[in-house]
Amino acid sequence: MAVLKDSVTVTVEYFDGQDEGDVGYPYYAASSDDLNFVTDGATFEELLTSVQECLMLCLHDTDSRAEYGVRPDAKVRFAGV
């Protein structure tokens, strides 16, 4: 049986929204290579809600935990901001 990871890393970035092709207002983006998701939010609180939803979807059952190789009680480490 494979050893499951006991933590996942979520990288958070802040964007001022003014770069070419950007949305025109500031926002936060988060991604996890461990769980293969990207999400965003207009505020940091909105971003945290989105991250929580992504974590729940990725780890909602035994099959998906095994697919990502992550323990159900894994800690979340935020990197970036």
Backbone angles phi, psi at 50, to 5 degrees: -65, -40
Full residue range of the structural domain in which residue 61 is found? 42-68
Q: Is residue 59 part of a domain?
A: yes
Domain total in the chain: 1
What sign for the dihedral angle of Cα 33, 38, 44, 46?
A: negative
This prediction has a pTM of 0.83
Q: What does the pLDDT look like over 54-79, one tens digit per residue?
A: 998 888 876 777 788 888 788 999 99
Q: What does the pLDDT look like over 4-55, one tens digit per residue?
A: 889 999 999 999 988 887 778 999 999 999 999 999 999 999 999 999 999 9
Q: Is residue 47 part of a domain?
A: yes
